[in-house]
Structure 1
Amino acid sequence: MLSHAHEIFLEVARQLSFTKAGQTLFMSQSAVSKQVKALEEHYKTGLFERLGNSVALTAAGALLYQKLLAAKQLQHELHQQFAAVSPGFAPQVRMVIGASTTISLYVIPPVLSAYLQRYPGTQLTLKNRNSENILKALLEHEIDLGIIEGIHKVSNVTYTPLLTDEVVAVCSARHPGLPEELVAQDLYHTPLALREQGSGTLAVLEQALAEQNIKLTDLPVKVRLGGTEALKNFVRVDTCLAFLPRQAVMKELASGELREVLIQDLRMVRHFDFVQRKGTENNLPYKTFVQFTKRYYSKQA
């Protein structure tokens, strides 16, 4: 078992921030610093360089970090194997996952419920941000697993497909002017309400428009809103056309609050992918969570 101090060191090394580590671990910054100092005294060397408001691992700190990551992996494997042979064995496991807005609100909650029933010793934190910021959090080691949608891929990240979803054009059911069908060129004369920059939904729309040689900057965008729910609530009472994930508006379409507007020459399908830093794909318990989620949705299909 890794000691409490080593677990704290791992979190500081992962985030390169005493403050962020304290927030994740629900500890004060001073308590985190005290534990790290105790380790530095134990190993008779500095583990972090303090650089103003940031920190960096020393050579000794980097060595300890790599060895502890390997030890952590072995510990997770041991815990899983023991749980299989000893049903009463239920070690505490902590996971921090990041997911884009649509996934956090409509896709992942039932999976989390099922996963926690299967692995009751898990303490799980879900961070909800747009796709661009989830990718940023992954690269900054704030999270070890993300689920994102519809953004350009980067070379140092592994992408594992999860689901596909459709982005649809919707307006208020009380909208007096919009016909049931449009073509892409009609968007030049249609007031739009869109998500904020960095949204996966927006990225899918931009790509579909580009295939029709249409620039988003040339369209009459009246408002941008951060978050799917904010955009959905706005378009319910306004006369703008919005583009939203079908997963997010199924209830409103069924109840008649919103209606779908078919745009004949725009195909807006997006992919939900797990994202991990290259080299961490086999790290437990995240590998287990990826496999569990894929099995969950394969049974729903």
Structure 2
Amino acid sequence: MLSHAHEIFLEVAQRLSFTKASQALFISQSAVSKQVKALEEHYKTGLFERLGASVQLTAAGQKLYQKLLAAKQLQQELQQEMSELSPAFAPAVHLLIGASTTISLYVLPPVVAAWLHQHPQHQLSLKNRNSDNILKALLEHEIELGIIEGIHKVSNVTYTPLLTDEVVAVCAAANPLARRALAVGDLLSIPLALREVGSGTLAVLEEALEQHQIRLATLPVRVRLGGTEALKNFVRVEATCLAFLPRQAVLKELASGELVEVKIKDLYLKRKFNFIQRKGTENSGPYRDFLRFTQRYYSNRE
């Protein structure tokens, strides 16, 4: 089993920050520094190069980091195999999962609650970022399982389908667009509020527009906002802009009449939510079980 000091080193190495590591581990920064210093004294070499507020791994630190990642994977595999041989052996598990904004806010909360109810000895940390950054976090071992929109062409990542979602055009009830039916070409003259680059919601819109020979850069975008909630709250009070948001994110607002769905003829905005894992880690027991639990949860609601 990895020592406490090695677990702390891994956290600092993944985040390249003593401060962020202490926050993630809920311990003081001085405690983090003390454990890293003890490792450096043990190995008789520096593991981090201090660069003002940031740090970088030394050659020795990089070697230790890679070996510890492999050791952690072996540790997880051992726990899984021992659990299968001895059902009474049920070690506590801390899952590190990341998901894009829509999934984190609207898809996963009921699943996580149900899963933790069945596994009271386990813990779960969920990172909420856009799809590009969740993929980056997976590749950098910050998380072990991600859920994102679409498929990125990355050779060492496997994709497992979860569910299909729809992106809809919405506006405030006071917006004149609320009483119109639009054609795709109308978007060239309508003020738009869109998500930031890297967002799965933006990517599905861009892909659909390309099928109509319309480039995103030619649209009159008034504002770009990071995060679904920020965009939703903006368009609720801004009576001139049209926004594209996941249907899951605006169900309550559409039902209450705060927002109105604007139909756009021949513009179909569907996207698939997929689990992502690094190749070779697909059979890690707790993550495999959570993936299957989530699939069953939503298949039972179709």
Q: Given the two structures, how large is their TM-score scaled by the length of structure 1?
A: 0.87
State the Cα distance separating 1:67 from its structure 2 match.
5.0
Is there any run of 5+ residues in structure 1 with no aligned partner, and where? none
**Alpha-carbon displacement from aligned partner over 1:210-247 (angstroms, at most 9, x marks no partner):** 11000111111111111111111221222211111011
Count the aligned residue pairs: 297
* 102-111 or 44-53: bigger deviation: 44-53
Superposed CA RMSD in Å reads 2.6
- The one-letter code sitting in structure 1 at the alignment partner of 2:263 is L
CA contact (8 A) 1:92 1:122 kept: yes
Partners of 1:131 and 1:151 within 8 A in 2: no
- In the alignment, what sits opposite 1:267? 268
Task: Indicate how the Cα distance of structure 1 residues 79 and 19 shifts in structure 2: closer, same or farther if over 3 A, else same.
Answer: farther
Could you tell me which runs of 5 or more consecutive residues in structure 2 were left unpaired when the two chains were aligned: none
C-alpha deviation, 1:268, in angstroms: 0.6
Tell me the amino acid that sits aligned with residue 202 of structure 2.
Answer: L
Partner of 2:108: 108
Task: Select which of 60, 80, 95 maps to 1:77.
Answer: 80
CA contact (8 A) 1:79 1:91 kept: no
For 1:14 and 1:261, how far apart are their aligned partners in 2? Answer: 44
**Residue 222 (1) aligns with residue 225 (2):** no
Partner of 1:95: 95
8 Å CA contact 2:188–2:220 kept in 1: the answer is yes
Cα distance change of structure 1 residues 78 and 119 upon mapping to structure 2, 3 Å threshold: farther
Give how far 1:193 is off. Answer: 1.1
What is the identity, as a one-letter code, of the residue corresponding to 2:278?
A: R
Q: Retained in 2: the 8 A contact 1:160–1:275?
A: yes
What's 1:50 paired with? 49
Residues 276-291 of structure 1 mapped to structure 2, 5 A cutoff:
276-291=277-292
Of 68, 77, 88 in structure 2, the residue corresponding to residue 65 of structure 1 is 68
Pair 1:239 & 2:209 matched: no
Report the AA paired with residue 246 of structure 2: P
Q: Is the 8 A contact 1:94 1:123 kept in 2?
A: yes
**SS at 2:114's partner residue?**
helix
Q: Please state how far the C-alpha of 1:192 moved relative to its aligned partner.
A: 1.1
User: Shift in Å at residue 28 of structure 1?
Assistant: 3.0
The residue number in structure 1 matching 2:196 is 196
Name the SS of the counterpart of 2:76 in structure 1.
helix
Structure 2 counterpart SS, 1:7: helix
Distance 1:250 1:201, change over 3 A: same
Listed as ranges, the matches of 1:23-172 within 5 Å are 23-42=23-42, 44=43, 46=45, 48=47, 50=49, 52=51, 53-56=55-58, 58=60, 61=64, 64-77=67-80, 80-81=83-84, 85-86=87-88, 91-150=91-150, 152-172=152-172
Answer yes or no: is the 8 Å Cα contact 1:194–1:223 preserved in 2: yes
Q: 1:255 is matched with which residue? A: 256
The residue type paired with residue 35 of structure 2 is: Q
- Do the aligned partners of residues 169 and 70 (structure 1) sit closer, same or farther apart at CA in structure 2, a change above 3 Å counting? closer
> What are the Cα deviations for residues 166-191 of structure 1, in whole angstroms up to 9, with x where unaligned?
00111112222454421111111211
Deviation at 1:16, TM superposition (A): 5.2
8 Å contact from structure 1 (residues 145, 275) kept in 2: yes
Q: Secondary structure at the match of 2:137?
A: helix
**Contact 2:151 / 2:159 at 8 angstroms: preserved in 1?**
no
